[in-house]
């Protein structure tokens, strides 16, 4: 006869697992809500308090913290048998526990006293004890593993490899749980916790990092980090970075849009009514840079778009969906990675530096667009400025973007001074810049950038404003008959 202890907050699947255990001669220990669920389903079990001879105390705070429970979990078979027999301790072979939902409840705006009641004590203690003694005890902390556990029971027991894997998962769970509690308690009355503990799951080793001599891995079980290609080679370190950049910009648009990214910077962006001409327009912004790029699309890829995609070298395509015929066509480029666009994940941005990390949070914000020149922009210029600024926000600083109403025309990125970014954007433009709009990610410290833009044909410019020389720039705009808008929000991207 084997013993299993079941104590779960989330009751999903627990009755079905319990029935399998009983069918295979396990005796069950349980209490509280888990016991009530078993009783309602007619599954026989022994109350923990009846087994230990000690009643639950302090409104359930003390029930499994007892030598007959922890001795049964921690007892080493063949070593501690005599002690266990002397004290009437039955060996517990399986522990199935999930924890109070602290992570969820700590974000509900409860008081400190209310939140503390969701800190599980008995659960983590049993989980850690079982994981430590996994040579003899299997521990299950995730309902997703109940099927595997039931199969193991039907086969006669858990293998050593299964017990070790379950133990590793158990310690990872208690580490994340304790980390969430520490983050909460050290973050009270602070925008960020004093001690930051993070955990990312689903780790996979990549072929290499940014370059072949660097090792790398990716972690994450949601968003882009969790996506696996529908076809093509495995994702690389640089692929993940570029897809992240492309998707961030793509999500700025509700209209049909195509975004092309190379080395973390956009090299082509367009909007339109249908995806095929929109993609072609984006690619033609800079077809040389589009070679070996990341393409992000916010509409379904159909056969005509797929044929256009395979006509050039594309590293990764990510789109909302794909028609079956499109997937068949794209198989002609067997190395091209094809991803589905996942739901966005709201989280802080974390970047490593020597000795630590930087954490950045972007709260909801609103730009305050106001015209500062004598001439107001017309409706066409406003739409062009809106497009240019959306792209500017996702381009490395210093960033200068020329655009019309539907497409980017010239991109100047990552320069040490703003006027050179403007000059590069003008030089790279393949279409006329006459009547275009310009966006700058930060204020113009001098009139020179505006003068470069005006000389190239731009008639409107949008920038954050805030320079001590704003008046000089406004005067220069008025002289050039350029309509200028200040937004009040800077968008540096390092």
Point out the residues that are catalytic.
132, 263
Tokens of 325: 């015929």
| CB 302 within 8 Å of CB 279 | no
Where do we find the tokens 């996942």? 342
Query: Nearest Cα to 328, choosing from 300, 299, 302?
Result: 302
Tokens of 273: 């009514």
- Read off φ and ψ for residue 21, nearest 5 degrees: -60, -45
- Paired with 319 in beta bridges are 297, 340
| CB 362 within 8 Å of CB 476 | no
Query: Nearest Cα to 38, choosing from 52, 54, 63, 17?
Result: 17
3-state secondary structure string, 158-218? CCHHHHHHHHHHHHHHHHHHHHHHHHHHHCCCCCCCCCCCCCCCCCEECCCCCCCCCCCEE
Q: Which residues of 139-152 are buried (b: 16+ CB within 10 A; e: fewer)?
A: bbbebebbeebbeb
């Amino acid at each position: 006869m084997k013993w299993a202890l079941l104590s779960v907050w989330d009751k999903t699947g627990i009755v079905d697992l319990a029935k399998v255990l009983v069918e295979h001669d396990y005796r069950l220990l349980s209490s509280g809500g888990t016991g009530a669920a078993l009783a309602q389903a007619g599954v026989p079990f022994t109350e923990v308090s009846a087994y230990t001879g000690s009643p639950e105390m302090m409104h359930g705070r003390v029930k499994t913290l007892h030598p007959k429970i922890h001795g049964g979990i921690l007892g080493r078979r063949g070593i501690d048998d005599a002690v266990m027999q002397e004290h009437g301790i039955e060996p517990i072979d399986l522990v199935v526990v999930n924890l109070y939902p602290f992570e969820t409840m700590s974000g509900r705006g409860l008081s400190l006293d209310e939140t503390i009641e969701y800190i599980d004590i008995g659960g983590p203690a049993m989980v850690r004890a079982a994981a430590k003694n996994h040579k003899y005890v299997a521990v299950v902390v995730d309902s997703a593993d109940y099927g595997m556990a039931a199969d193991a029971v039907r086969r006669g027991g858990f293998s050593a490899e299964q017990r070790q894997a379950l133990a590793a998962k158990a310690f990872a769970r208690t580490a994340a749980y304790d980390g969430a509690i520490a983050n909460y308690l050290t973050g009270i009355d602070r925008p960020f916790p004093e001690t930051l503990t993070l955990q990312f799951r689903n780790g996979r080793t990549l072929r290499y990092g940014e370059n072949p001599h660097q090792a790398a891995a990716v972690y994450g079980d949601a968003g882009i980090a969790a996506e696996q290609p529908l076809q093509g080679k495995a994702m690389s370190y640089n692929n993940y970075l570029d897809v992240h950049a492309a998707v961030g910009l793509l999500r700025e648009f509700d209209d049909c849009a195509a975004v092309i990214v190379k080395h973390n910077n956009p090299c082509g962006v367009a909007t339109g009514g249908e995806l095929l001409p929109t993609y072609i327009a984006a690619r033609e912004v800079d077809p040389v840079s589009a070679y070996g790029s990341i393409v992000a699309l916010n509409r379904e890829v159909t056969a005509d778009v797929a044929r256009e995609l395979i006509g050039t070298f594309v590293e990764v395509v990510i789109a909302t969906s794909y028609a079956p015929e499109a997937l068949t066509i794209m198989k002609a480029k067997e190395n091209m990675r094809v991803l589905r666009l996942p739901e966005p994940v709201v989280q802080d941005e974390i970047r490593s530096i020597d000795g630590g990390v930087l954490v950045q949070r972007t709260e909801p914000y609103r730009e305050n667009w106001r015209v500062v020149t004598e001439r107001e922009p017309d409706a066409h210029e406003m739409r062009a400025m809106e497009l240019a600024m959306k792209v500017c926000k996702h381009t490395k600083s210093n960033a200068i973007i020329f655009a019309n109403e539907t497409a980017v025309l010239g991109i100047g990125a990552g320069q040490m001074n703003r006027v050179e970014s403007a000059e590069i954007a003008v030089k790279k433009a393949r279409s006329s810049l006459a009547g275009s709009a310009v966006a700058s990610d930060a204020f113009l410290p001098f009139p020179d950038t505006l003068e470069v833009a005006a000389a190239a044909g731009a008639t409107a410019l949008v920038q954050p404003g805030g320079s001590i020389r704003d008046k000089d720039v406004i005067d220069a705009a008025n002289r050039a008959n350029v309509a200028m808008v200040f937004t009040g929000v800077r968008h540096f991207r390092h």
